[in-house]
Amino acid sequence: MSTTPDAKVRRPRSRAQKQKAMEQLANGSDTADNDALGVQAFERGLAVIRAFVNQDRALTISDVAEITQLSRATVRRLLGSLVRLHYARTDGQSFQLTPTILELGYAYLSSNQFWERVQPYMHDVVRELNESCSLGILELPNVVYVARVPAQRIVLNIAINIGTKIPASVSSMGRLLLAYQPRDVVLQYLEQHPLQAYTPRSVTDTQEFLEILDRAQADGWVLVDEEMEIGLRSIAVPLRNRRGDVIAAMNVGAPTSRASVEHMVSRFLPVIREAANRANHALSLG
């Protein structure tokens, strides 16, 4: 079998070449021109998708351009691509994302089987306490819900679903995850996102907040009492990967009418802590 003189044979990359390629990707210099146009278009496309976050209405091209600070021409092209890919729809004047966009989030959830493997232990918590159980990860300035097993009884006035984001400072899961972050990360977070009073009970003093985080790390749990919403208490414990790193938090929330602080500590905490311990043990076994 012969090959033409100009045929190219792709040789396997050496370890050094692979390492260099990874560094180039991380630094955004994969090729001479950095694939600048492609990278820029991708970033702008993501910006257009994010423009719809927390919007309860359809957006016009002008709306999206104002939110993203992109030109109308660029926004028009990107929205057109989203429509063609069925990630958005339009009536000719305004645009809305379609449920197809959820594929992007589910791609993450399906690629990380950690959350799926924790679900049985969350179901145990709900059966035992008859209150909703959730799993969250830290994505500053928020905690993001990545799994949830709802109870039949209503807990919140706001809807909580997979992908819901709650400010980390007033979330029991958010506070617990912050407690295991390096202090410089926490201080930078507080500098960029000063503590706010979501209710009259919200902690807004930085030193008091840091002391709460220190206790949470020492105790391995934290309770938030009506700081995000009046009438709601929640308690959270950590979940760890095989190396023992805290990568997520599990919580249970309940109305104050159904659970006092003392009841949550004496009744809820042992149940959710046992579920987290069993989940951690199962995950550590692979």
Q: First and final CA of the chain: distance in angstroms?
A: 47
pLDDT of residue 50: 87
CB-based contact 247:240 (threshold 8 Å) = yes
pLDDT of residue 25: 42
Q: What angle do CA 120, 170, 127 make, to 5 degrees?
A: 25
CB-based contact 156:124 (threshold 8 Å) = no
CA pair distance 77, 4, nearest whole angstrom: 42
- Domains belonging to the chain, first-starting first, are 16-100 (1.10.10.10), 112-284 (3.30.450.40)
CA pair distance 144, 253, nearest whole angstrom: 15
Q: Is the dihedral of CA 49, 55, 58, 60 positive or negative?
A: negative
pLDDT of residue 35: 58
CB-based contact 233:264 (threshold 8 Å) = yes
CB-based contact 222:199 (threshold 8 Å) = no
pLDDT of residue 10: 43
- Side chain identity at 8, as an amino acid letter? K
175 contacts: CB under 8 Å, gap ≥ 6: 168, 169, 212, 213, 216, 222, 224, 236
pTM: 0.67
CA pair distance 94, 63, nearest whole angstrom: 9
Tens of pLDDT, residue by residue, the chain (286 residues): 444 444 444 444 455 554 554 454 445 444 545 456 667 888 888 899 889 887 778 999 999 999 999 999 999 999 999 999 888 999 999 999 887 776 676 555 555 566 778 889 999 999 999 999 999 999 899 998 988 999 876 555 567 888 888 999 999 999 999 999 999 999 999 999 999 999 999 999 999 999 999 999 999 999 999 999 999 999 999 998 888 889 899 999 999 999 999 999 999 999 999 999 998 887 765 5
97 contacts: CB under 8 Å, gap ≥ 6: 49, 52, 82, 87, 88
pLDDT of residue 155: 53
Q: Residue written as tokens 């760890």?
A: 240
- Range list of H helices, the chain: 15-27, 36-50, 61-68, 72-84, 102-111, 113-129, 172-179, 183-192, 206-219, 261-263, 269-284
